[in-house]
A = this chain, B = another copy of it.
Amino acid sequence: MTDDAIRARQRLFVSDPITPGCEIELAPEQSHYLEHVMRLKPGTPIKIFNGRDGEWLATIAHLRKKKGTLAVDRLLRDQIVERGPMLAFAPIKKQRLDFLIEKAVEMGVGTLQPIVTAHGITDKVRLDRLHAQVIEAAEQCERLTVPEIAPPVKLLDWLSDWPENRHLLFCDETGSGSPIGEVLSQLLAKRAGSAIDNVNVVNHAIVIGPEGGFSADEIERIRKQSFATPVSLGPRILRAETAAIAALSVFQDRLGDWSKTPVTRDQGKPL
């Protein structure tokens, strides 16, 4: 990496297309953040990505009174497809939900699906807040994409409207399932005979219950679905956010992008 790329400590998600030499207009909050929180000046290098065009080095061209523009310099990393599984979760208390979201992004989740369940603490999800959190976490963990956020849906409606080739890993806290790692390696092994392409990680959704657990009716409904496999997350009672992170970790290890050759970061190219 060159000096200016190393000096670029800030990394921002932008929505505009990024092309060599183009100018990017920052959102007012981004300009405010760079000017007043980070106290940066025009001329400072910044990394940017938009989920489509890879990661670029840019320079602050103008920054004043909540208005900022960046001058795009050059490509740092080519865009890659970062597919991850879907995580369906019932809203939990604010601080724990914040944590769940941040960690799910770091763990490479593809889509976040809020679900409304019988025992959930609330059926309100502030989608604007969720969106801002997801972007911030993606900027921080050096993802090249931002996960999708699906509109909240009632659990039973979600199950009824199921895409043909999606598999569901049901994190069943009653312990009726086999260990999640075992289930994932069996899915991989029987790939040939299955209707679902199990190797394709976007074909998997993981569902975690609310703090109070799923209701007996909900558990029965999920278990009945031919696309659902109940899995166990060990002998301890995990909080909802712990279960989400742990299930995503094992998923990425067994099926996802942790199973691939690692990135070597000290050779200069972070990809």
Contact = CB atoms under 8 A, between A and B. Distances in A.
A206 interface: no
A101 to B, nearest CB: 12
Contacts of A265: 173-175
A108 B246 CA distance: 12
Number of copies: 2
Given A103-B242, A246-B107, A249-B249, A179 B236 contact: no
A142 B233 CA distance: 14
A179 B233 contact: no
Contacts of A257: 234-235
Nearest to A232: B262
A268 to B, nearest CB: 11
Contacts of A174: 264-266
A250 B108 CA distance: 15
Contact of A140 (B103, B181, B237, B266): B237
A258 B180 contact: yes
A263 interface: yes
A179 B237 contact: no
Contacts of A260: 179, 235
Contacts of A232: 258, 262-263
Nearest to A107: B246
A162 to B, nearest CB: 25
A252 interface: yes
A259 interface: yes
A143 interface: yes
Interface string A171-201: 0011111111110000000000000000000
A110 to B, nearest CB: 13
Contact of A249 (B99, B141, B250, B262): B250
B263 A235 contact: yes
The 4 closest A-B pairs by CB, nearest first: A232-B262, A249-B249, A181-B253, A234-B258
Interface of A: 99, 102-103, 106-108, 140-143, 173-182, 232-239, 242, 245-246, 249-250, 252-254, 256-266
